Amino acid sequence: MLCDLCSRQVAEEKTFRLPLRELRRAVDAGFDPFRAADMTIWKAMPFNVGLSDEDLFREWRRRMVQAKRDWQICPLCAEAFQGATGRVLVPIGQAVGREGKPRMTLGEFGRRHRPTLYFVFAITVLLGIGVEVCRRFDWSRLHRAEWEKRLAIIEKQVLKVVPQADQRVYRLAADVGRFLRDRWMVGYLYDQTKGTEYFIGRPSPADFRRAIEAQKAAIAAGKPFDSGKIPKYRFDMEFKELRCRLVVGAAEPPGADLAPK
């Protein structure tokens, strides 16, 4: 690389770091490289040839003012600068990053970006909590409440539009069956008055029927209904007016019955 001050060729690991602030302060205090250092090479640069001493200094000063990053200077210039100003410069050597900036340690990075790091950390924690809350929330309960409300309305309509009492449960089974079919669910409707039962909705899988039979036997033996034993259990409810009980499970996914066995 070339020395930022005198343009002499120099190996980067031999350079010294000259902070711009320090250089400008020194120039303001009277530091003149053309008097203090060996600027022969710089003077011989094509853009400097033919300039008067005054112009040379002005040109050099212009470039120094426009500089954006700290300079890297050769040992000769470092010595000249130190001799003229009494400042001690640090050899950068291995500590120089590729961009000519001193390498930043991890701890320094942490201190400099602490607010950003705290912010990122806080956002990460909040996102984590949000995901966990959503994961734990029982979304099917929302559905369940909505389904039970809709089915209760179906029961009211049956009572209103079917005058014959002995045909009401049959109509309830048909309407509830359609409701479940549309939502890809299977249902078991039990008429407590007559003891008749209906498998409604999507075609009931064998394990659903078996589980219902097992529950009937258990209830007959005086045990309470255990929804945990119903495969893909969704909800169960009571039709109070028509004295029917409904157990609902999820149906096989669409097309499962077409899959080769």
Task: Give the binding site for Zn ion (CB under 5 A).
Answer: 3, 5-6, 8, 74, 77
Residue 87 C-beta: closest distance to Zn ion, Å: 16
Minimum Å gap between C-beta 130 and Zn ion is 58
Residue 220's Cβ-count burial label (10 Å; 0-12, 13-18, 19+) is exposed
Q: Which among 156, 129, 134 has a CA at the least distance from the CA of 241?
A: 156
Q: In 3D, which of 96, 119, 128 has the Cα closest to residue 13? A: 96
Secondary structure class of 197 (helix, strand, coil): strand
225 DSSP assignment: P
Select 8 or 234, whichever has its Cβ closest to Zn ion: 8
Q: How far is the CB of 4 from Zn ion (least distance, A)?
A: 8
183 residue type, one letter: R
DSSP conformational letter for 100: S
d(Cα 129, Cα 70) in Å, to the nearest integer? 45
Question: Minimum distance between the CB of residue 20 and Zn ion, rounded to whole angstroms?
Answer: 16
Q: Collapse the DSSP code of 97 into the 3-class scheme (helix H, G, I; strand E, B; otherwise coil) and give the result.
A: coil
* Least distance (Å) between residue 60 CB and Zn ion: 12
Residue reference for tokens 């001799």: 83
Tell me how far, at minimum, the Cβ of 131 lies from Zn ion, in Å: 58
Task: Report the residue number, 3 or 246, with the smaller CB distance to Zn ion.
Answer: 3
Give the integer Cα–Cα distance in Å for 102 and 106: 13
Nearest approach in angstroms of CB 30 to Zn ion is 19
Backbone angles phi, psi at 255, to 5 degrees: 90, -10
Q: Per the structure block, which two tokens stand in for 4?
A: 């930022």
Tell me if 96 sits within 8 A of 103, measured CB to CB: yes
CA 125 to chain centre: 11
Tell me whether residue 6 or residue 169 sits nearer to Zn ion (CB atom): 6
